[in-house]
Amino acid sequence: MKPRRITILRKGLFLLALPLVYQALFIGVLLKRQHDLTEAQRWAMHTKDVIVKTEYIFRLLTGTQSDTRAYLLTGEERFAEDIALDERILSEEFPALRTMIRDNPRQEERFQKVLSSAQVRLDYQRTIMETMRKQGRERAQDEVKKLKGRELTQALRHAIEEFHAAEEKLDAARLEQLRVSTIYQDWLLVGGLIVNVGIGAVAAIMFSREIAGRIEVVTQNTRRIANGKTLPPLVAGSDEIRELDEQFHLLADHLKSARLREHVYQEALERRATELTRANRDLEQKNDEIEMFVYSVSHDLRSPLVNLQGFGRELNFSREELQKLLDGELSAADRDRAREVADRDMTESVRFIQTAVTRLSNIIDALLRLSRAGRIEYHPKMIDLKAIVQRIVEAMRGTINARGADVVIQNLPEVWGDPAAIEQIFANLIGNAVNYLDPKRPGKVEIGRIERAVEGMEKPLTIFVRDNGLGIAPNHLCKVFAIFQRLHGNLIAGEGVGLALVRRMVERHGGKVWVESEEGVGSTFFAAFPADAQHSPLPMVAPRKERINVTVSHA
Amino acid sequence: MTTQPVTILLAEDDDGHAQLVQRNLERAGLLNGLLRVHDGQELLDCLNSRGSSHQQTLDEALVILMDINMPRIDGVEALRQIKANPNTHRIPVIMLTTTDDPREIDRCYELGCNVYVTKPVEYEGFIDAIRRLGLFLQIVQRPRNGQN
């Protein structure tokens, strides 16, 4: 099962809820405070009411005191009625006040004191009134002279003042409390506001860190992917942003491997393109060679054909002439002419026709040889080149001696190749060197090995055949390896196919052949062969036993 | 009728072809002095040796018949050198060849060859060209030996 995740939704809700919850709590606290404040105000008002009431009662009671005196002095009933006010105060005002202070037991105690004092004084006044009505003013005045009424009033006043003072104190306390509450409320509002701002800031920071910041990282990651840069470690957390980042990391990995693959393909492609270009160049060169070859062959075939056709016509002319001569009477001059035609013209024509046929036949043979050189199966092996060259030179000894030439064979390496082909290659090169020596100076032919860098070959074995012969003109250097190019005219018998064969055979060995020459000084022919069997295109046909050994050693 | 000795200089490596040219020139009645060389080098050497003698160059009219494919110096190169040399560039040149490759023909005309003849197909054409060239040069034909 998937672990429970903290999703962006949850985070968002939390971030939204945080200030809302706080604000709700704050408003609750604020309401409570408001309520308390109202209560305090109410209590303050109440205390004021109590004080007013107390003062009112006190004034009334003070009033009844003087009424009693007035009644005593005048005896008028009008004042006696006023005294009844005390009773009303006791029966009406006091209970009202009492209900007002019911919440305060201590004040109630004091009130009780006031009440009892008032009761005692009322009783006393009633007694005086009674005395006055029944025993007369004298008795009543005596009674009053005892100053008991005064004491009672004093006691009452004292009680009321005490009560009043307590209430004033309470009032002051409550006012103070109200003031403190108001200040407290103000601070609460300011504090609450600050905390609210703080929570907002915290929410903003949390949003920035938990969501905006991480989204920014992911966004930068997409840019990094686009620019092919490596990604930093995954963003923390387990929400969608993390998942998104994981996906982007996966994507980046895929892209990276794709780029790697692409790079590999690209390299392979470039390698192939290079190979193709080279192959193309080789093919173009081969094509040019073939074109040149066809041109040469057609020309060389046409040349004897011209003779065949030409001397065929000549024979016809001769025949017509002879016929004309034979048709008439044969004079001595005619006879001589006829003999001339038959002996000279016709013999010559027949000779040229025969030569042309031989030449055509030789050309066709040469073509067949060249074709065979390209098709014949090679049996390559390591060959002692020196032994082969020595054998070739020995075979040519007659010609060499006839020309008075000096042939030097240096140390020669072993070469991987077909023995017959290698022998043919060097027989041709040495043969050419000997045949095209300059008769004007003592000939010298040298065969040896030389270190030369050859394009497209690794550590080639380069063999040279150097002579001090006629040499080749610069404008003919490029033609020497083309077929039927005979640079030295009919000096030496041949079809001009030797060097073309040499080139064909060397190339089949994976090698190259070229010439450096100076007319009148001599030529050097070079043949470069692959260093060993591994670099040779010729297949290694190893004996069966050896092949098994190789397999075993690999196993 | 002015008589002007004209020498035909034939450069041809193939003996058979040289023989055919000679026989056909004779048969056409162009019995001028014919001098044969075997390749381009020999032709140029021959012209140079003639050039060294002013008398001969002025007196003697020359026409060159030349094969393209020759050893050492080929016909095209020889033609170029002849036409580049102020001593020889006026000599008319007829190119003889077995090829009818238009590029080769164009090149020869560019180099200043007067007539281009392909052998052996245009065998009559070849003779005709020699003949017309003879007229053009106002060569006075000498009667053939043994004929009246």
**Cβ <8 Å between B120 and A489:** no
Instruction: Please tell me the predicted confidence (pLDDT) of residue A266.
Output: 92
Q: Are strands B61-67 and B6-11 parallel, antiparallel or unpaired?
A: parallel
Who contacts A65 (Cβ-Cβ below 8 Å, separation ≥6)? A149, A153
B contact set with A (CB within 8 A): 13-17, 19-20, 23, 27, 38-39, 69, 71-72, 77, 98-99, 101, 119-120, 123
Instruction: Please tell me the predicted confidence (pLDDT) of residue A483.
Output: 66
**Cβ <8 Å between A352 and B19:** yes
Instruction: Please tell me the predicted confidence (pLDDT) of residue A190.
Output: 92
A470 by Cβ neighbours in 10 Å (0-12 / 13-18 / 19+) ranks as buried
pLDDT band at residue A535 using 50, 70 and 90 as cut-offs: confident
Instruction: Please tell me the predicted confidence (pLDDT) of residue A485.
Output: 60
**Cβ <8 Å between B20 and A314:** yes
Closest partner CB to B16 (pick from A299, A356, A486): A356
Instruction: Please tell me the predicted confidence (pLDDT) of residue A264.
Output: 93
pLDDT band at residue A4 using 50, 70 and 90 as cut-offs: low
**Cβ <8 Å between B16 and A307:** yes
**Cβ <8 Å between B20 and A489:** no
B64 pairs with which residues across the strands?
Answer: B9, B93
* pLDDT tens column, A469-520: 888 888 777 777 876 665 544 444 455 678 888 888 898 888 899 999 888 8
Give the residue on B whose Cα is nearest the Cα of A334: B146
Handedness of CA A393, A396, A401, A406 (dihedral sign): negative
pLDDT at A268 over 90: yes
Tokens of residue A253, six digits: 């990995």
pLDDT band at residue A551 using 50, 70 and 90 as cut-offs: very low
Give the ranges where B70-118 is alpha helix by DSSP (H): 75-84, 102-110
pLDDT at A251 over 70: yes
User: A-chain residues within 8 Å CB-CB of B144?
Assistant: none
Cα A378 from Cα A419, distance rounded (Å): 9
Nearest to B133 by CA among B77, B67, B82, B61: B61
Mutate to test the interface with B, among A302, A315, A340, A485 (most CBs of B within 10 A): A302
**Cβ <8 Å between B71 and A487:** yes
Instruction: Please tell me the predicted confidence (pLDDT) of residue B121.
Output: 53
* pLDDT tens column, A210-229: 888 888 888 888 888 888 88
Closest partner CB to B23 (pick from A309, A314, A355): A314
pLDDT at A232 over 50: yes
Closest partner CB to B98 (pick from A299, A356, A490): A299
Instruction: Please tell me the predicted confidence (pLDDT) of residue A351.
Output: 92
Nearest to A472 by CA among A507, A505, A499, A453: A499
Question: What value does the mean pLDDT of chain A take?
Answer: 83
Who contacts A271 (Cβ-Cβ below 8 Å, separation ≥6)? none
Mutate to test the interface with A, among B38, B68, B72 (most CBs of A within 10 A): B72
| Mean of pLDDT values over A76-88 | 73
* DSSP 8-class letter at A236: S
| Mean of pLDDT values over A522-537 | 86
* DSSP 8-class letter at A466: E
Give the residue on A whose Cα is nearest the Cα of B17: A307
* pLDDT tens column, A19-68: 888 889 989 988 998 898 888 888 888 888 888 888 888 787 777 777 77
Instruction: Please tell me the predicted confidence (pLDDT) of residue A273.
Output: 92
Instruction: Please tell me the predicted confidence (pLDDT) of residue A301.
Output: 82
**Cβ <8 Å between B13 and A305:** no
How many other C-beta atoms can be found within 10 angstroms of the C-beta atom of residue A134?
9
Mutate to test the interface with B, among A306, A340, A358 (most CBs of B within 10 A): A306
**Cβ <8 Å between B17 and A310:** yes
pLDDT at A285 over 50: yes
Handedness of CA A518, A524, A530, A536 (dihedral sign): positive
* pLDDT tens column, B109-135: 888 887 777 765 556 666 676 666 666
pLDDT at A288 over 50: yes
Cα dihedral B123/B126/B132/B138 (nearest 10): -120
Phi and psi for A378 in degrees, rounded to 5? -90, 145
The DSSP result for A241-290, as a single string, is HHHHHHHHHHHHHHHHHHHHHHHHHHHHHHHHHHHHHHHHHHHHHHHHHH
Instruction: Please tell me the predicted confidence (pLDDT) of residue A159.
Output: 83
Cα A55 from Cα A93, distance rounded (Å): 12
What is the ipTM, given to two decimal places? 0.77
Tell me if A98 sits within 8 A of A108, measured CB to CB. yes
User: B-chain residues within 8 Å CB-CB of A486?
Assistant: 71
A contact set with B (CB within 8 A): 295, 298-299, 302-307, 309-311, 313-314, 317, 345, 348, 352, 355-356, 473, 475, 486-490
A to B CB pairs, distance under 8 Å: 61
Tokens of residue A162, six digits: 């005490």
pTM for the complete prediction?
Answer: 0.52
The pLDDT profile of chain B, 148 residues, written as one tens digit per residue, is 444 567 788 888 888 888 888 887 777 776 667 888 888 888 888 888 765 544 444 346 678 888 887 877 888 888 888 888 888 888 888 888 777 778 888 888 888 887 777 765 556 666 676 666 666 554 433 333 333 3
**Cβ <8 Å between A356 and B71:** no
CA distance B92 to chain A (A): 24
pLDDT band at residue A110 using 50, 70 and 90 as cut-offs: confident
| Mean of pLDDT values over A76-99 | 76
How many other C-beta atoms can be found within 10 angstroms of the C-beta atom of residue A336?
10
**Cβ <8 Å between B72 and A487:** yes
| Mean of pLDDT values over A76-86 | 73
CA distance B106 to chain A (A): 17
